Amino acid sequence: MVRASQTEDLLRIVLSVLCISLLIVACIWIISPFLLGLAWAGTIVIASWPLLIKIERLLWGKRIPAVIVMMLLLIMIFVIPISLLANSLVVNSTPIIEWAKEGHFVLPTFEWLQSIPMVGDNLYNLWNSILNSGGNALFERVKPYVGITTTWFLNQAVQIGSLFIHLGLMLLFSIVLYAKGESIGYSLRHFAARLAPKRGDAAVVLASQAIRAVALGVVVTALVQGILGGIGLAISGIPFASLLTVVMILCCLVQIGPLLILVPAIIWLYWSGDATWGTVLLVWSCIVGTMDNVIRPALIKMGADLPMILILCGVIGGLIAFGLIGLFIGPMLLAVSYRLVTVWMDEVPEPHTPPSEVIEQIEECSSIHLEDK
């Protein structure tokens, strides 16, 4: 009778777990089209929640007017700039893809090198000897791969329809989260506490801190640097300024910085003889290139300090996994996981015993165990 009861209980547990798993998978399958938009909205709402509270206080404690103001801000910050950048990508990406595929590019001879005093002739002869010995032939072999790589990156960036769908979902979910933020937050904390009574509530709080740190310290800094750098490119008369702004924002997100785009633009201005605007862009680039040292630490202090290699992996992995929206989602997921793991590890003190003593203790325990046998 005891064995039959145990078998019946085991079968009941297995069937219960199977039914719950099927239910979870079905729910995830149903809401999967909305997950990215919901994650994007959650990130923005968590990062901007203190601003909503301040606006609500200014509007006599009324939540609905505060939500309307936040929606207008989101439209100004996200919808309008993304629409302009998307239009620029659609207009400018086609000729770039065709140029990369067809390979209408020949390595220049750099005849102006001869005008450099002392070493100009030697540099000119060295460069042209490389060209004559197969430099152009080598580039001809690289051209197909350049075209394929450029096409992949631009196709990822030109997924305009999907981007705008998730953008609309982000706005819709943001309205709900702003309006019912407290109740939703307490529900998440309650659910987490039910899963893990000791750590669940703390895990939700730490996750919100990590999300705010990435959104403020990394994404906002990249957007500020990229937009200001793009303004400098447009004023200086650099062609394809909008497209270069998008690339600059991506470079800032992966922690390369805006100078990878600004420095060649400065060189191009001086080379084309426009020294005035070249100097203006040079001064502006010095400001834009160093402002992250001031903005990022101040913003990260509002959340949690995170290693830059984590952000780099999150940006690149998110881009490959989710496309353009993965630039924002990838770092968030890694940051949350990193914070939870580090807090879990900190519950136990770090080992300070030298490795040699640890080995000796293991050998002593082994010898005592053998003697007992």
Work out the average pLDDT over 108-128. Answer: 68
Q: What is the pLDDT of residue 137?
A: 47
Distance from C-alpha of 295 to C-alpha of 281, rounded to nearest angstrom:
21
Mean pLDDT for the stretch of residues 301-330: 72
Residues 6+ apart with CB under 8 A from 174: 41, 44, 45, 70, 71, 74
State the Cα–Cα distance between residues 329 and 311, nearest whole angstrom.
Answer: 11
pLDDT for res 298: 74
Highest-confidence range of 56-70, 90-104, 196-210, 254-268, by mean pLDDT? 56-70
Q: Is the pLDDT of residue 113 over 70?
A: no
- Return the higher-pLDDT residue of 252 and 157: 252
- Tokens matching residue 244: 């270069």
Tell me what pLDDT residue 107 has: 55
Q: What's the average model confidence in pLDDT over 205-225?
A: 80
> Of 361, 45, 291, 336, which Cα lies nearest the Cα of 178?
45
pLDDT of 187 higher than 60: yes
| pLDDT for 4 | 52
**pLDDT surpassing 50 at residue 1:** no
Q: Which H helix or E strand runs over 164?
A: helix 160-179
What is the pLDDT at residue 323? 66
Assess contact for 177 and 184: CB atoms under 8 A: yes
> pLDDT band at residue 112, thresholds of 50, 70 and 90?
low
The answer to whether 254 touches 269, Cβ cutoff 8 Å, is no
For 62-107, the pLDDT digits (tens) are: 999 999 999 999 888 777 777 766 666 666 655 655 555 555 555 5
Q: What is the DSSP code (8-state) at residue 79?
A: I
For residue 267, pLDDT over 50 is answered with yes
- 335 vs 56: which has the higher pLDDT: 56
Whether residue 361 is predicted with pLDDT greater than 90 in this model: the reply is no
Higher pLDDT pick, 112 / 170: 170
Burial class (CB in 10 A: 0-12, 13-18, 19+), 170: buried
Give me the mean pLDDT over the 5-12 stretch. Answer: 68
Mean pLDDT of 217-224: 82
- Give residue 56's pLDDT band: very low, low, confident or very high (50, 70, 90): very high
* 293, 221 contact by CB (below 8 A): no
In whole angstroms, what separates CA 233 from the centre of its chain? 23
The pLDDT of 8-37, averaged and rounded, is 87
Q: What is the pLDDT of residues 130-167, one digit of tens each?
A: 666 554 444 554 455 445 555 555 555 555 667 778 78
| 356 touches 348 (CB < 8 A) | no
Q: Looking at residue 138, what is its pLDDT?
A: 46
How far is the C-alpha of 326 from the C-alpha of 183, rounded, in Å?
28
Query: CB atoms < 10 A from the CB of 64, how many?
Result: 11
Provide the pLDDT for residue 130: 64
The overall average pLDDT reported for the chain is 77
In angstroms, how far is the first alpha carbon of the chain from the final one?
40
Helix (H) / strand (E) element for 202: namely helix 200-214
- CB 258 within 8 Å of CB 285: yes
With a cut of 90, say whether residue 299 has pLDDT above it: no
Tell me which of 34-43, 127-136, 225-234, 354-363 is least confident: 127-136
Which residues 6+ apart lie within 8 Å of 69 measured at CB? 55, 59
Average pLDDT on 289-305 reads 75
